[in-house]
Amino acid sequence: MQVHFYDTSRGLSVGAFSDRFLFSGSENYGTVVLLSIAGPHSAVKAILAAAASGYPIHTNAFPRGSFTGSHGGGGRIMTAPLGTGIVHGLYVGPDLLERETHRFALLGETPLRIFAELNRRFTLPAVPEWADRIAAELKARGRLKPLQGFGASGCEVSLTDAELDSIVSDGVKRDQMRF
């Protein structure tokens, strides 16, 4: 997939190739969660800087889409040389890096992966055997949404302590989650 950044006010148009791209939102407008690209050094740096600064980038995989990194800036950029003038770059958005809020993204979307992250972030009075039921309930309540893109999978979780407590206590009361 090709990724482009345009800044017509400066006469700038650069492109690179992507092997992994995840975003939240819609195919018309989304927030970049993960972007892995390779190409000429200046193009990769410009695209990654644009994503990290909240400027729109575009891709041929979602031709009507416009994707930005965090509007407040942030995220992490890493690059590594691949050869003469060619660089691999990675932008990891703040939603994937964030460790303290109740809205976050994570790579992988299996129930056990989701359970492990919830267990790490919250005081989770649950056992791994309940992972499938907890993930299903999060989806049913609209608190777990898959990320879109290609080359990787992930999900976005938006949840408070009280909501998670409610999911577990309701499951136990209904005998859907047993010790």
143 CB-side CA count, 13 A: 20
What confidence score (pLDDT) does residue 86 get?
A: 95
Q: Is the dihedral of CA 105, 108, 111, 114 positive or negative?
A: negative
pLDDT in tens, 129-161: 999 999 999 999 999 999 999 999 999 999 988
What confidence score (pLDDT) does residue 74 get?
A: 74
Whether the full predicted model's pTM is greater than 0.75, yes or no, is: yes
Mean pLDDT of 162-168: 91
**What tokens were used for 61?**
């995989």
Domain boundaries, the chain: 2-94, 98-173
- Average pLDDT in the chain: 89
pLDDT in tens, 51-67: 988 899 999 988 888 89
Please state, in angstroms and rounded to a whole number, the distance separating the CA atoms of residues 43 and 37: 10
179 pLDDT higher than 90: no
100 pLDDT higher than 70: no
What confidence score (pLDDT) does residue 8 get?
A: 87
Burial 18-32 (b: 16+ CB within 10 A, else e): beebbbbbeeeebbb
pLDDT in tens, 17-44: 999 999 998 888 889 999 999 999 999 9
126 pLDDT higher than 90: no
- Judge contact between 89 and 48, C-beta under 8 A: yes
